[in-house]
Amino acid sequence: MKKSLRITHYALRIVEDIQTVMWRDWVVLRRRLKKFILSRLVTPVLYLVAFGWGLGRSITPESGTYLDFLVPGIIALNTMNVSYMSATTVHAEKIYHKSLENYLSAPIEPAAFVTGKILSAVIRAFISTALILVIAVLFDAKLNFLADVASVIEFCAVIFLNSAIFAAVGFCAAMYVKTFEELSQVNTYFLMPMSFLCGTFFSTSQLPAAVRIFIEILPLTHTSEMLRHGINFTSLAVLILYALILTKISCNAFNRQMS
């Protein structure tokens, strides 16, 4: 009985700590919400105009239009970038603002801090995704992945996992690198190749076999695939595994920071 009460108390404390971290990030976001929305509109609109209306007119996919094919890829790409960049703000808190020291000295569970930061990044990714869906409707794209309630739930699950994965990647990068220049290198060598090769703008089946084997291991490939064709067990399992492993690595990195 006492053990059960201790576990319950600990779980409630974790939830409260997560809420505290998320509320702090939400207050910051709310003050900058207008700028955040405007900045999140620029890149998707450019992609839709350049690839959907421009280059896309000369491309005919297996079914539908290239614009219909492109929108899920842009959503996958956008959630990757937004969640990653949102989590890397921890680097500025650690190096420049020194506000991370407040968290380090506070009676907060490390796992709760990491989870709160990741979930805050996920919320930003969902807001950005909602903006893209509005723009896609204005561009007359067919959102078949939102055809019914089940499809919406699957869509949200995939977005959540993809955002959590790259938020964890951003958190890890923020913990391990020492300078902003090193942080940008993660984007250059890791995120940038995935942005163009992981089924966002074209099917991975068009890649050479040797390259395709490597590309299909990466999480963004599975996200793009499921956003277009629905959830499949293998891709879902891959994303869950990535999310769990990277979150664990993030917690370990933060624990080392606290020690």
Tokens of 148: 């019914």
| pLDDT at 204 (0 to 100) | 87
Quote the percentage of the chain above a pLDDT of 90: 34
Model confidence over 91-128: pLDDT tens digits?
777 666 566 666 666 677 888 889 999 999 999 999 99
Tallying the residues shown for the chain, one arrives at: 259
What is the CB neighbour count within 10 angstroms for residue 153?
Answer: 11
CA distance 71 to 78: 10
Model confidence over 226-253: pLDDT tens digits?
999 889 989 999 999 999 999 999 999 8
Contacts of 182 (CB under 8 A, 6+ apart): none
Model confidence over 128-163: pLDDT tens digits?
999 999 998 888 888 888 888 989 999 999 999 999
- For the chain, the maximum distance between any two Cα atoms, rounded to a whole number of angstroms, is 68
Q: Which of 25-34, 76-85, 86-95, 215-224 has the lowest mean pLDDT?
A: 86-95
Q: Which letter, b or e, does each residue of 73-103 get, where b requires 16 or more Cβ atoms within 10 Å of its Cβ?
A: bbbbbbbbbbbbbbbbbbbebbeeeeebeeb
Mean pLDDT of the chain: 85
pTM for this predicted structure: 0.90
Do residues 117 and 87 lie in contact, with contact meaning Cβ atoms separated by under 8 Å? yes
